[in-house]
């Protein structure tokens, strides 16, 4: 690469770092005169790079958003960070329906990496292990994701077509509060003005999203992520479970996070003894109960099952099995 061409690319890299760069600053960084900087800028403009001239006392040059992405220059650390982010995103299921997009993006970056960096990256990926296998998730359409995000930012109502888990289709208006990534899926939470209640929807089940005219006020209270987690804990399932546990919220949350259960202080009724340590009432909903006895046992805290009776039977059966195992020589 000739020296002038290398300086032109260095100029592009400086502009990509953001902000307005004065001619004097660029000339100093490139080791050239101001008129040479202007000539380099003209070369970038001839290549359709969206370089803007900013007038005034603090004027200079900046890179404006263009109709196409200009060449990007990454440092070694930046290239590694981007590639690891793409790998982590695929493992977490946080991709769009363009399933190959992250793979082709990775391939384009890897293709231009210096050989010594590519070797180091390959070494890292070979040594890198994950504690869980990558999930097979249905991921949202990129256009729907971006349309919804725009509605969240500008507080515009959005019309969505939604298919629920039972296959029922509906069209509704949503005042979207925020987008939340949880457990490998994308969710949007907001108020359904048609029913006057907060709702949470999986973005991969939205088949169409259109921004509507008008606006709404941002809500006060819990954050979007808190609304999503509390929605999971109170969703409609077959069994409603209530258990009193003698311990702290921190001890309980290690096994029953906010997305699974809600906690509240337990106030003893008249006639009940007030213990020195507090009890917390835990409420949750579940399709199945067989996973709960091991969880309660792992808490290693006194507990009282209020409902359902079936859970009490399952806990008793587990205790008997463990006792029989312990008696075996």
Count Cβ neighbours within 10 Å for each residue of 284-309 and write b for 16 or more, e otherwise.
bbbeebeebbeebeebebebebbeee
Rounded to the nearest 10 degrees, how much is the dihedral formed by the CA atoms of 32, 37, 39, 41? 150
Is the separation of the CB atoms in 304 and 254 below 8 Å?
no
Q: Show Cβ contacts of residue 14 under 8 Å, excluding neighbours closer than 6 positions.
A: 21, 26, 29
- What's the confidence (pLDDT) of residue 316? 93
With beta carbons less than 8 A apart as the criterion, state whether 212 and 157 touch.
yes
Q: Classify residue 203 by its DSSP letter.
A: G
What does the pLDDT profile of the chain (329 residues) look like in tens digits? 446 777 888 888 888 777 888 999 999 989 899 899 999 999 888 888 888 888 877 778 988 766 556 666 777 777 778 887 887 777 666 666 555 667 777 777 777 777 877 787 777 777 776 666 555 566 788 788 888 988 998 999 999 999 987 788 999 999 999 888 877 778 899 999 988 888 889 888 999 999 999 999 888 878 888 888 777 766 667 788 999 999 998 999 999 988 788 888 876 655 555 544 589 999 988 888 999 999 999 999 999 999 999 999 999 999 999 988 888 75
First to last CA, the chain: 77
Q: Are 275 and 224 in contact (CB under 8 A)?
A: no
Specify the 3-state DSSP secondary structure of 299: helix
Q: How distant is the alpha carbon of residue 281 from its chain centre?
A: 30
């Amino acid at each position: 690469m000739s020296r002038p061409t290398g300086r032109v690319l260095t100029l592009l890299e400086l502009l990509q770092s953001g902000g307005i760069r004065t001619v004097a600053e660029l000339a100093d960084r490139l080791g050239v005169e101001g008129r040479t900087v202007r000539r380099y800028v003209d070369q970038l403009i001839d290549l359709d790079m969206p370089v803007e001239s900013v007038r005034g006392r603090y004027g200079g040059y900046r890179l404006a958003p263009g109709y196409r992405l200009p060449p990007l220059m990454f440092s070694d650390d930046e290239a590694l960070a981007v590639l690891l982010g793409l790998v982590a995103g695929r493992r977490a299921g946080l991709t769009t329906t363009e399933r190959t997009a992250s793979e082709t993006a990775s391939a384009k970056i890897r293709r231009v990496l210096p050989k010594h960096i590519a070797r180091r990256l390959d070494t890292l990926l070979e040594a890198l292990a994950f504690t869980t296998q990558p999930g097979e998730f249905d991921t949202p359409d990129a256009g729907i994701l971006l349309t919804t995000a725009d509605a969240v930012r500008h507080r515009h109502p959005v019309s969505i077509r939604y298919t629920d888990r039972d296959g029922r289709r509906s069209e509704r208006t949503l005042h979207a509060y925020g987008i939340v990534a949880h457990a490998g899926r994308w969710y949007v939470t907001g108020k359904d003005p048609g029913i006057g209640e907060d709702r949470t929807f999986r973005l991969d089940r939205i088949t169409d999203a259109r921004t509507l005219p008008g606006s709404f006020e941002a809500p006060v209270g819990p954050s979007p992520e808190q609304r999503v987690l509390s929605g999971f804990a109170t969703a409609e399932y077959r069994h409603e479970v209530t258990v009193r546990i003698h311990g702290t919220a921190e001890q309980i949350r290690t096994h029953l996070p906010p997305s699974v259960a809600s906690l509240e202080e337990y106030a003893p009724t008249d006639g009940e003894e007030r213990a020195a340590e507090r009890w917390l009432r835990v409420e949750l909903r579940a399709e199945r109960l067989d996973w709960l006895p091991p969880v309660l046992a792992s808490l290693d805290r006194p507990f009282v099952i209020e409902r359902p009776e079936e859970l009490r039977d399952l806990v008793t059966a587990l205790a008997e099995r463990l006792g029989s195992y312990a008696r075996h020589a």
